[in-house]
Structure 1
């Protein structure tokens, strides 16, 4: 749907309705005013005839009974209103009629275009009749001073001509102006939408690699669109940088174990010594395990990167950790576990992804701790922050403060680290926790080891009814 055409259509429709309603109202009001004006004119004419008749000598008025006075009307050049017409050339006089009758029903005076009989009954008031196939408006007036009935009449087309002329003028002006307004609106719509067209042209001319912000002057209504597009371009640029870094790091992480596998495969072909063969097989198995682990972590990282929503509910950290410990039973068995769970602690989160977080952290604690060394897991509620805290403290060598700050970066491996890994586990954990609007804190343990704390939004207790 075109916004331009919709805007023009709505505006023209509004103008049309406005003109139509105003024309109808003005015509309706004009008709009422014209009716009142001409009705008043007929009343005034009746009173003028009363004065005319009353000013006649008594003997002349008595003579009218036998010899009614007839007012002749000269033919006119124009039947209706005409631009060159004047009062003498118009047929306006032929459209007016009057009669004067005495109470005995005897005609005294009449106009030539009226009937020799009463045009209406002798009763004061306004009426409408059809006379000579024409609609007439009549007013009947009784003069107490002269004891006569006076009837004045006016043809309806006198009034209708004025109404039609007023209505014609009301329609003629808008009929001339409306096309001009429509053309002006079309021109304005193209002119006003030109910045949008220019923005579209610039976007079409951009190369796929051009991720620079859009800098062009736009109307205030389009500034939010430009800013939103610049923000979107910036996010795309950041995502592409991350993807390139991810691809480079992944290639680097896979390159080393593949090179080791290739080297030991060549060694297998060059020796028949059972001890050397065993050494080469063990190295190849270790490289395959490392590659499988790295690929598994990369797939998980890709899944988390594309994650847009979580199935958030009320979760018990104690229950989730117990499920993870049961799944890792062969791995955790050699260690001294010290568990301290806060009773009835509930956090808001997605149980599936939180178990992945706890699994990674517990596996790391086992990987870097010696057998039979203590590993503690504690939970509590940090009410001041409205957070549920899950702490995993191992007995391994730990990290210095600088490494603790970098450990959540992808593929980061501390200098001198001898334990194999992909360097992705804690990065994935941090990303999942951030999606839960929490945080992952890593710091050196006391007196040794690594202190990992997961902060999750604390579930609000249900209010009592």
Structure 2
């Protein structure tokens, strides 16, 4: 759908409707006003005839009985108002008629274009009738002082000519102006949409590797679009940087165990004793386990990165924690666990991914904790902030403040650390928690160990 054509169509439709409605209202109002004016004119003509008749001598008025006065109308040169003419040339008189009748029903006066019989009944008021196959407006007036009935008439085409002329004049202007307005709107639409075309050309000319912000000058209405595009380009750039770093780190993490496997495979071929072969086999198995774990974490990270939405619902914290502990039972059964659950504490989250977070954190706590030392899982609600806290505190050596700030970065591992891992677990956990609009807080434990807190919205 073309926005330009839609805009032009809507505006022209609006102008057409505006002209049409205003013309109709003007014509309707003019017709009503003309009816009132001509009705008043017929009343005024009747009163003028009353004065004229009353001014006649009594003897003259008596002579009119049986010998009515006939008002002649000369032939006119111009028939309609549309033709140029002065009042003497216009055939307006032919379209007017009158009669004066005595109370006894004697015709006293009439115009030449009226009938010799009453044009209408003797009852005061306005009427519309057909006379000589033409539509007439008539008014009946009773003169009490002269005891006569006066009937004035006017042909309908007199009124219709004026209405048609007013309506025609009201349409002439729009008929000339409308095409000009349409052309002006088409020109303006192309001119106003030119910045959009320029922006499109600018984007088409950019190379895929060009991630610099768009700096072209645009109308204020397009500035938010430009800013949104620049934000989108910036996010794409950041994503590409992360992907390159991720690819490099992943290649490095996989390269080391592969090199170890290759080295021990060569050593296995050169081994002469069974003991050496067993050492090489053990090293190869360890390398395979390390590669498998790294690949598993990379696949999980890719899945989380591409996650568009979560299946969020109220989740009972104690239930999902006990489920995770049950799944890890062979690993954790030798540790001293201290569980302090807030009753009926629920969070808003995706149960599947929250279990992954807790599983990873609890596994890390078991890796670094002393089996004789306790591992504490404590939950509580912070009602004022609308958040719930799940704390996992181990009794291991812990980390420095600087390392705690970096531990959530991908592939970060503490220098000199002897425990195998990929450096992805806590990074994945942090990303999942952020998708839940929460926070993963890691800091040194007191007096020792590592204090990991998962902060999530209350359910």
| TM-score, normalised via structure 1 length | 0.92
Structure 2 match to 1:111: 111
Shift of 1:251: 0.6
| Shift in Å, 1:373 | 4.3
User: Which range is displaced more, 363-372 or 111-120?
Assistant: 363-372
Mapped pair 1:317 → 2:306: no
Q: Aligned partners of 1:346 and 1:120: how far apart in 2?
A: 93
Say if 2:101 and 2:148, in contact at 8 Å, map to a contact too: yes
What does residue range 3-22 of structure 1 map to in structure 2 within 5 Å?
Answer: 3-22=3-22
Q: Distance in 1 between matches of 2:155 and 2:383?
A: 94
Indicate the residue corresponding to 1:190 in structure 2: 190
Give secondary structure in 2 for the equivalent of 1:105.
coil
Query: 2: distance between equivalents of 1:385 and 1:106?
Result: 104
Q: In the alignment, is residue 203 of structure 1 matched against residue 199 of structure 2? A: no
CA-atom RMSD, angstroms?
2.1
Task: List per-residue Cα deviations over 1:46-73 (Å, max 9, x = no partner).
Answer: 2222222222233333333343322221
Deviates more, 1:120-129 or 1:418-427: 120-129
Q: State which drifts further: 148-157 or 285-294.
A: 148-157
Partner of 1:137: 137
- State the SS of the aligned residue for 1:145: coil
Partner deviation per Cα, 1:120-165 (whole Å, 9 max, x = no partner): 2333222222221111122222223333322222111111111111
Contact 2:23–2:170, Cα closer than 8 Å, also in 1: yes
Contact 2:99 2:152 in 1 (8 A): yes
Q: Please report how far the alpha carbon of residue 445 of structure 1 lies from its aligned counterpart in structure 2 after TM superposition.
A: 3.0
Q: Give the match for residue 148 of structure 1.
A: 148
User: CA 1:380 to 1:138, structure 2 compared with 1: closer, same or farther past 3 Å?
Assistant: closer
1:327 aligns with 2:327: yes
Pairwise mapping of residues 73-92 of structure 1 onto structure 2 (< 5 A)? 73-92=73-92
Q: Which range is displaced more, 293-302 or 200-209?
A: 200-209
Residue 212 of structure 1, CA deviation: 1.8
1:455–1:68 distance in 2 versus 1, CA, 3 Å = closer
**Matched residue, 1:396:** 396
Name the counterpart of 1:462: none
Describe the SS at the equivalent of 1:291. Answer: helix
Distance 2:237 2:29 in 1: 67
Cα distance in 1 between the residues matched to 2:97 and 2:447: 124
Greater shift after overlay, 218-227 or 38-47?
218-227
238-247 or 440-449, which deviates more: 440-449
Q: Distance in 2 between matches of 1:140 and 1:374?
A: 116
Q: How does 1:207-222 map to 2 (within 5 A)?
A: 207-222=207-222
Matched residue pairs, number?
Answer: 459
8 Å Cα contact 2:82/2:165 also seen in 1:
no
Report 1:300-379 matches (<5 A): 300-379=300-379
* Map of 1:28 onto structure 2: 28
With over 3 angstroms needed to count, the CA separation of the structure-2 counterparts of 1:400 and 1:144, relative to structure 1, is: closer
Which residue pairs with 2:228 in the alignment?
228
Residue 390 of structure 1 aligns to a residue whose secondary structure is strand
Moved more, 427-436 or 138-147: 138-147
Alignment partners' CA distance in 1, 2:338 and 2:54? 130
Alpha-carbon deviation of 1:383? 4.7
How far did 1:379 drift? Answer: 3.0
Q: CA deviation at 1:329?
A: 2.2
Matched residue, 1:55: 55
Equivalent residue number for residue 424 of structure 2: 424
Note the residue ranges of structure 1 that are not aligned, 5 or more in a row.
Answer: 460-465
Q: Distance in 2 between matches of 1:360 and 1:199?
A: 48
SS at match of 1:91: coil
Distance 1:64 1:247, change over 3 A: same
Runs of 5+ in structure 2 lacking a partner? none
Report the secondary structure of 2:446's partner residue: coil
- Structure 1 residues 402-441: aligned runs within 5 Å: 402-441=402-441
Partner Cα separation in structure 1 for residue 66 and residue 343 of structure 2: 127
| CA distance in structure 2 between the aligned counterparts of 1:47 and 1:379, rounded to whole angstroms | 104
Question: Whole-Å Cα distance in 2 between the matches of residues 127 and 450 of structure 1?
Answer: 105
SS at match of 1:244: helix
Residues 140, 347 of structure 1: alpha-carbon distance in 2 compared, 3 angstrom cutoff: closer
Corresponding residue of 2:448: 448
Q: Alpha carbons of 1:128 and 1:254: their partners in 2 closer, same or farther (altered >3 Å)?
A: same
What do residues 257-312 of structure 1 show as CA deviations (whole Å, max 9, x unaligned)? 11111122222233333222222211111111100000000011111112232223
| TM-score normalized with structure 2 length | 0.93
CA shift, 1:325, in A, is 2.3
Structure 2 partner of 1:165: 165
